[in-house]
Structure 1
Amino acid sequence: MSRSQDTASPITPCSPKKGEMISSIQLSRPFLTRLQIEYAQSKTIDNIVVYKQRRNQVFSFLMKVCNTLKFPMRTLETAMIYYQRFYLHNSFNTSTYHDVATVCLFVATKNEETIKKLRDIIAVVSQVRNMQLNSEQAENYRRKIIGLEIKLMETIAFDFRIGHVEEYLVKFSKTLSIPKEITYTAWLFSYDTYQLDIALKAPASSIAVALLELACKLEKFHVNISYRELFVNMEAVNETKVDLLDFYISNYNYSFFASIRPELHDTFMDLKIALGNVKQLVEREKRYTEEDAYFDERSYTTGERRFMLGNQRKRLYNEM
């Protein structure tokens, strides 16, 4: 693919003739770099610390709802990815983030074929949030969520392609003959990746390999992993390991893994030191991001909008 094609503007306004409606083309971009994510969030989030705190609360909130409704792990994973993608292009508001999380879960149930009626989801959401809703209030809230649903789907450009870390963990652990106990540790790690923006940067296959490697290091189990044979990107694997280790070093007490293995608090600093300076995902100059139409303010009132699947990142083509 030529460079001009690879960097095509995700939102391309079409010049209308007199009397015609304005139209635009919006491409999906499933993976971004760290600086691109930070740039997008700088335009939609006033206080990133508050946003991250609320994101962790949303994770706990959605986990409780999913457990009550007996949704599988993949539904929670998809909902958290949608939640983070939503705030790349929409302003974060501390009074509505639970509503956004609820619609993300609702759409995730459809995508993962774990469908529940919206009324049933709202009933559990109300219970978890200690909201007392009468029938009229519940109906108004249902309409509010339905209104948010189309906004979410437009934000993600109707791109419902989601890879699941859990599936790759099972597949790769069998291929590499990794014991079930270590695979379970990697599976526990995966819950904490949902609290981070890792899934916005790396595909599920690369995340799974990173978690298996960290679990093997933690349990002192030697394994030889060929990234080429598993069709994963080394830089994406390293990016995942660095992000997760940094999270455990600075916020271990707030992690899901700490609730299972609290005694390992100091171990992750040793793993980070042993990891050393590794090659992570390549960042482009800031000016390219600033000139990228993908990060322009989204319009939800344009007369005609076309949504297309697209991926600017050549480094990930082999993994899609």
Structure 2
Amino acid sequence: MAPQSGRPPGPANNDQTSDDGTPIGPPSGLSSIPTQYISEQSLRQMLKSIAYDEAREDTYRLKGVQLIDSVRGSLHLPVKTFDTAAVYYHKFRIRFPSSEYNYEDVALASLFVACKVEDTIKKSKEILCAAHNLRQPHDNKTADDKAFESPSRFTVGLERHILETIGFDFRVQYPQKLLIKMVRSMFSPRGNEGTEDGQNFLRVAYDMSIDVYKTFAPIKQSTFTLVLAILELTALFTGKGSEAVNRFKGSQWHSSKASILETMLDLLNLYTQFPRSTKVGARFNLNKLMDVKIDLNKMVSKEGNQRYYPWCDRCAQDALEANPVTPGSATSPATNNSLSGSSTVKRKVTASEGTLRFVFDAELARKERDLIAEYHNNEYEEYEVQVEEPIRETESRHSSRSSHNHSHRNHGSHNSHNDNHGWSPYQRSRHGSHQSDRPKGRKTYAYY
């Protein structure tokens, strides 16, 4: 026979009570809502908080994305894996300063995570081996080499930090698929001439879709905005397809003209400042790129738009004043095999942080936050109480010295523990012995 429970039976209704095993109180842990897009103003604030040096960090951003693209081509991975890895790489870099990690390590770890997300699974040793063979083509190695064991453990450890940074939000836009469909609709088959123009247009536009991931545009804009900006900028470069591009209005594609112009100017800044690090910038003359950029700036001013959309003047921060930082490339486990594979990236943990959970439903997260706030709000009541404290009477110096001499005559050397009571006229020696308390040559008188 089963033992009887000592808990009294609850009421016979369908209401939820404490007897059904439901814990009373708020759910444990903290909730976080992942965001897929970040505005330019929020992005600058995040970069300022990590002491972002624009002149130095732009080079690391370009090299990291270029490394992802090179390793992706060496392993014959699809372009969607490159898109995912580049987005994870950018989201990690805007939250951690480069002094805590090496950009090559984060780039390879981002590609490792992207391979799992896009179901193009590659082992960490295979990715590290491909990167090593690209850097040192005269020293080709295989993925089974023992030299990749320590960097492999480091990459696996860095994977957890990347997952926490992106908030387990694996949503990434893929503009290449939509770009090909829109180019096909622009250049309908009208003979060999129309087909050839469409192919030349697509070559430039497709390479531009790779270059756009070398900027922060993919984490700021949607897929339609990226594609429309690439099509319009390609038409300005090649001088073909301008009429067909004008048929695509931003309002019909869940975008705005201001967002499209912002993306186009981001690409032009990349092509004018780092033309050799891109695929499209080296194909055109720099003067032509500058002329297109000037025309777009005039268009932005004429239409009354701002350079970045949306932008709040009241919330604008001062210019970035950051100290230059240097990544630890010399001490990185990816370049130094003698170091251990432990991760050097430290996630900032607050004192009140518990189990961190990521919620995708914003309305559900708000309700849970309001529920938890009822249990964590501390309410205080202030009381003023007047208390009368008696004043202690201090003993005079003469009475203290007299009591000390009286105690010394009565106890003598048998009670050495009371020598320091009261006001002692002599100081103890450094050795702390009782015999040195009395100076030499002093006579003691006794009365009988």
Counting only pairs closer than 5 Å after superposition, residues 25-104 of structure 1 correspond to structure 2 as 25-93=31-99, 96-104=102-110
- 1:164 and 2:174 correspond: yes
Structure with greater proportional helix content:
1
Matches within 5 A, 1:1-320: 23-93=29-99, 96-130=102-136, 135-177=145-187, 179-221=198-240, 222-223=243-244, 224=246, 225-259=248-282, 261=283, 263-275=284-296, 276-278=298-300, 279=305, 280-285=308-313, 287=315, 298-299=348-349, 302-309=353-360
- SS for the counterpart of 2:280 is helix
Higher relative contact order (CA 8 A, sep 6+): 1
Contact 1:29 1:311 in 2 (8 A): no
Looking at structure 1, the residues matched to 164 and 313 of structure 2 have their Cα atoms a distance apart, in angstroms, of 28
The 1:81/1:63 distance shift into structure 2, 3 A limit, reads: same
Instruction: Give the distance between the partners of 1:148 and 1:190, measured in 2 at CA.
Output: 28
Identify unmatched segments of 5+ residues in structure 1: 1-19, 291-296, 313-320
- Is the Cα–Cα contact under 8 Å of residues 41 and 316 in structure 2 kept in the other structure? no
Q: Using a 3 Å threshold, how does the CA distance of structure 1 residues 286 and 49 change in structure 2: closer, same or farther?
A: farther
Structure 2 unaligned segments of length 5 or more: list them: 1-25, 189-197, 319-346, 364-448
Is the 1:36–1:289 Cα contact (8 Å) retained in structure 2? Answer: no
SS at 2:215's partner residue? coil
* Secondary structure at 1:138 match in 2: helix
Match of 2:33, SS state, is: strand
| 1:246-287 superposed Cα distances (whole Å, 9 cap, x missing partner) | 22223323322134x1x4322112212322242341113564
**Greater Cα shift, 274-283 or 128-137:** 128-137
Identity %: 23
User: 2: CA distance between counterparts of 1:217 and 1:163?
Assistant: 24
3-state secondary structure, aligned to 1:105: helix
- Does the 8 Å contact 1:201/1:236 carry over to 2? no
- Structure 1 moving runs of 4+ over 6 Å: 131-134
Decide which structure has the larger Cα Rg and report it: 2
Q: Which moved more, 1:227-236 or 1:239-248?
A: 227-236
Assess, with a 3 A threshold, how the Cα gap between structure 1 residues 46 and 143 changes in structure 2: closer, same or farther: same
Q: Provide the alpha-carbon RMSD of the alignment.
A: 3.0
- CA–CA distance in 2 between the matches of 1:175 and 1:311? 37
User: TM-score by structure 1 length?
Assistant: 0.79
* 1:191 Cα offset (Å): 1.9
